[in-house]
Amino acid sequence: MNLPFEILATDGTARRGHLATAHGHVDTPAFMPVGTLGTVKGLLPEQVAASGAQILLGNTYHLMLRPGAERVARLGGLRRFMDWKGPILTDSGGFQVMSLAKLRKLDEQGVTFKSHLDGSLHHLTPERSIEIQDLLDANITMQLDECIGLPAPRREAERAMHLSLRWAERCKKVFRERAGYGLFGIVQGGVDKALRKESALALKDMSFDGYAVGGLAVGEPQEVMLEVLDFTLPLLPADRPRYLMGVGTPDDLVKAVMRGVDMFDCVLPTRSGRTARGYTRRGVINLRNARHRDDPRSIDPDCPCPTCSRWSRAYVHHLFRAEEMLGSILLTLHNLYYYQEVMAGLRKAIEAGKLEDFATAFFEQQATGDLPPLG
């Protein structure tokens, strides 16, 4: 394998692993902060790395529109461009074409769409998606797939799944094999068990370096997502990493890891940080709420992040009320630390064979709710 993956420990169906890339290793289960446009919004790369993140996600759709993949390549690739030292995974652009692009026209060859930025016309094929990700120098490249919203008619899910399989074959043919780089296939099929099985087995026969479960986190209830994982993950090769795309909350991560997921990405910790929502051991809090305006305590008293070590809830509340950008920066930093702490706790628990104990304590603490206001 060009992208070696070693399972170091298991606890039930959960896995503790090690993924080796050309630009560093990744301890799994892993959460990848989203750096869509070559930046985790508001933070320096060294701040992201200090949170415990070992790998970032970039996006084909956004980077092809600006600044352009060829320009990034001329400037040394995405890693040098953004000064990130570790591995990078790039999403293929399929989801963004579905969710952002205007006047989308899909056919067997690919998708033609107008940019959501300026209305310019673009044509994205499986071959071009792989080429863009190569130009960006992504360690993990994702196949181009067609994403559909849920709920969806079975006929539509079946059509999109089969098209994604044909595109997967084309991606595999043009992907440039080399040590420390890999290509992941994406399992589609909506919430239909038979379609997911057909997709997973066909991709398994193509022998990808890793496998993603796509088409979730698009509005379905958590129990539906977990049900899809329950019948999909056992179909995938045990010796390859499993990536659940676009998920999710800390609660989602814990439950998905217990089912055997190795990798995650989601905008929630960073987007929430910009909208005053902080993730803590006791659940989610809104720093705009007046209950925090006189509170000298940190966001989470047990959190080692720079925000909690130096500043009070009252200060962060003030920053959001005053619309100062530092509020978003400090809360984003805290949220990333919290997400990475959850992942580190999951890895340690799997190694010790105590995942059930970890999960029980996690859910009990989340259910307690925020600290009561002082006074």
Verify whether residue 107 is a known catalytic residue. no
Maximum pairwise Cα distance, the chain: 66
What's the full length of the chain, in residues?
A: 375
CA dist., res. 44 & res. 113, Å (int): 33
Question: 91, 145, 209, 300: which one is catalytic?
Answer: 91
Residue 279 zone, left/alpha/beta (φ > 0; ψ -120 to 50; rest): beta
From the candidates 11, 137, 262, 265, which is the catalytic residue? 265
Measured CA to CA, the distance from residue 309 to residue 304 in angstroms comes to 6
Token pair listed for 354: 């105590």
Residue type, 229: L
Residue 258 CA to residue 342 CA, distance in Å, equals: 13
Instruction: Give dist(CA 278, CA 291) in Å, integer.
Output: 14
The full 3-state SS of 175-237, as one line of letters, equals CCCCCCCEEEEEECCCCCHHHHHHHHHHHHHHCCCEEEECCCCCCCCHHHHHHHHHHHHHHCC
**Strand pairing partners for 32?**
265
Residues 317, 313, 332, 347: what is their CA dihedral angle, to the nearest 10 degrees? -160
- Cβ count within 10 A of residue 138: 27
Q: Residue 174: what residue type?
A: V
Q: Give catalytic status of residue 295 as yes or no.
A: no
Closest CA to 257 of 131, 358, 117: 358
- Could you tell me which residues come within 8 angstroms of residue 288 by beta carbon, excluding any fewer than 6 positions away? 276, 317, 320, 321
H or E segment and range at residue 314: helix 313-321
Phi, psi of 368 (to 5 degrees): -70, -25
Cα three-residue angle 245-249-252, rounded to 5 degrees: 70
Q: Which residues are known to be catalytic? A: 91, 265
